[in-house]
Amino acid sequence: MNEYDDIINLPHHVSSRHPQMSMMNRAAQFAPFAALTGHAAAIEDTARLTDEQHELADEDSEALNQKLAYLRENLHEHPTITITYFEPDKKKAGGAYKTIEGQLQNIDDYSQSIVLKSGEIIPLKSVLDIQCADLEL
């Protein structure tokens, strides 16, 4: 005779006081526990590389000013331009250089920014270079 022969064939007990747990809640009991919520994301964010913004040389700055002056004169044509600019990182020091293409809407002297028809607003102090296929720069 085995040790559990007296209870092995008894019916499964179902409580009359407590409702049965759903399969989803039962499974959640055995899910892994993350004691440090957000820790992996913080490590990944710290490991992300950023660039430093470089100052333009005097001749590059002068060339950029000439391109901006030319674009101001031809603003009514809404030329398609390609802008390379520095976008600061929102979470840590540095940022990344990005290139965007779009139709020029305005050069806003008050906010010192370039506005594209797509709604993008790029601060002039962040612009590294501007290229324009529609016009000769």
Query: How far, in Å, CA of 122 to CA of 62, rounded?
Result: 19
CATH classification of the domain holding 58: 2.30.30.100
4 lies in some domain: no
- What's the chain's average pLDDT? 87
111-137 in b/e burial notation, b at 16+ Cβ within 10 A?
eebbbbeeeeebebebbbebebeeeeb
8 lies in some domain: no
80 lies in some domain: yes
Query: Mind listing the pLDDT tens digit for each residue in 34-75?
Result: 777 777 777 777 777 778 888 889 999 999 999 999 999 999
CB atoms within 10 A of CB 72: 12
Q: What is the pTM of this model?
A: 0.63
44 lies in some domain: yes
Give the pLDDT confidence score for residue 131 in this predicted structure: 93
Hey, which residues does 115 pair with through a beta bridge?
106, 121
Mean pLDDT of 107-133: 93
117 lies in some domain: yes
Domain containing residue 92: 17-137
5 lies in some domain: no
Tally of domains within the chain: 1
121 lies in some domain: yes
Mean pLDDT of 92-109: 91
pLDDT at 135 over 80: no
Mean pLDDT of 101-120: 94
100 lies in some domain: yes
pLDDT at 134 over 90: no
